Amino acid sequence: MKGNSSLKCPFCQTTDTKVIDSRFNPTGEITRRRRECPSCSGRFTTYERIEELMPAIVKKDGRREGYNRDKILSGIVKSCQKRPVTQEQIEACVDGIEKQIRIMGIKELPSRTIGEMTMNTLHALDPVAYVRFAAVYREFTDVKEFFNELNENRPELKPTSGQTMELPLFD
């Protein structure tokens, strides 16, 4: 698809830019467009995705707010810092969570449901990122809560009867 559209050039702010190439991602859900500005010859890329109505998010205190993809993305990015997780994997996680939400087909969704979806996704992606997210999401207040979360999700660390969760200081 080649043609003109009224999308503002990020370089000179002209509102008439030209599409010079369009490509679809493998799932066909996102269209990548290379554009060129006839005024300054600047080139840039835009991405199009179908705008779907997502449910309102019901917060812990009962407030409702619009769905915000960036909040989920930000939480996952922070949890995955300095981990061997690519941006593509992170985007795929958010896409998967959004797909689950759309399948539900509901008008309102508790924020805790999104938090649980995110934790389940991170648990499968990277165990360290999962625990980081869980520590913030579940608002751990002490180390025991942190160890309890590890024990529930890492059975090899769970003490057998008679053992304590204390770790030796020296080998």
Mark whether 80 and 33 lie in a shared domain. no
The string of pLDDT tens digits covering residues 80-133 is 999 999 999 999 999 999 999 999 989 999 999 999 999 999 999 998 999 899
Are 71 and 17 in a shared domain?
no
Q: What is the pLDDT of residues 56-93, one digit of tens each?
A: 999 999 999 999 999 999 999 999 999 999 999 999 99
Alpha helices in 25-153 (DSSP H): 69-79, 87-104, 111-125, 127-137, 143-153
pLDDT value of position 166 = 53
Residue in 51, 48, 44, 46 with CA at minimum distance from that of residue 30: 48
Residues 39 and 112 placed together within one structural domain of the fold: no
Both 75 and 39 in a single domain? no
Over residues 1-26, the mean pLDDT reads 81
Could you tell me if residue 138 is left (phi over 0), alpha (psi between -120 and 50 degrees) or otherwise beta? alpha
| Boundaries of domain holding 104 | 56-157
60 in any annotated domain: yes
Q: Is residue 138 part of a domain?
A: yes
Residue 157: pLDDT over 50: no
Q: Is residue 71 part of a domain?
A: yes
Report the C-alpha gap between 17 and 57 in whole angstroms: 36
Residue 4's pLDDT band, with cuts at 50, 70 and 90, is: low
SS3 of residue 12 by DSSP: coil
Residue with tokens 């399948």: 103
Whether residues 63 and 124 fall in one domain: yes
Q: Give, in order, the Cα–Cα distances in Å from 140 to each of 28, 31, 113.
A: 40, 41, 18
Q: Are residues 72 and 143 in the same domain?
A: yes
